Amino acid sequence: MMNRRDSLWSLAMLAAGAALPVRAQTLPAAADTSEVIYITPIRSDGQESRCQSEVWFTRDGLSLYVVTAHDAWRAEAVRRGLTTARIWVGDVGVWSRSDGAYRNLPVVQGKASLETDTLRHAAILALMGQKYTREWPTWGPRFRDGLADGSRVMLRYQVA
């Protein structure tokens, strides 16, 4: 049970916190050079999901974009309203074989949403094609066709 002193202390701390300037997140420099990012949705209890993976991405401003299978947990999490995600930026190989090394990479928090605008899809896929030139002849059509037929979705992670 909270007494009057605890209540006043809590209110004072809340007021002090509100007076502090909000520091906007920025993306680490690795967001411009890394081949992959590691993503995990944050569950409603504030804990990381067990679903963690390395994925191809592209950056546009303070947003990171990912194309993934429609039924991947990271897409399902967004559809269920679990829109906060932890994102490690860099490349240490396959996450499950990294012995947690990705956790030592620069980390940001992002707000996830489904990107449904087809013009935005085309623009982001063009950026991905410039980034993954060697792999794009194979994966570009798969991403484009998957977005068109609904077997893939584009996720936007806004970092701010």
Domains present along the chain, CATH in parentheses = 29-158 (2.30.110.10)
Three-class DSSP category at 157: strand
| Closest to 41 in 3D by CA, of 68, 1, 5 | 68
Which residues, including other chains, have CB under 8 Å from residue 60's CB and lie 6 or more apart? 123, 124, 127
pLDDT, residue 105, reads 81
Percent with pLDDT over 70 in the chain: 80
CA distance 144 to 79: 21
pLDDT, residue 17, reads 42
Q: pTM for the complete prediction?
A: 0.79
pLDDT tens per residue across span 34-86? 888 888 888 888 888 777 777 899 999 889 999 999 999 889 999 999 999 99
Amino acid occupying residue 51: C
pLDDT, residue 4, reads 52
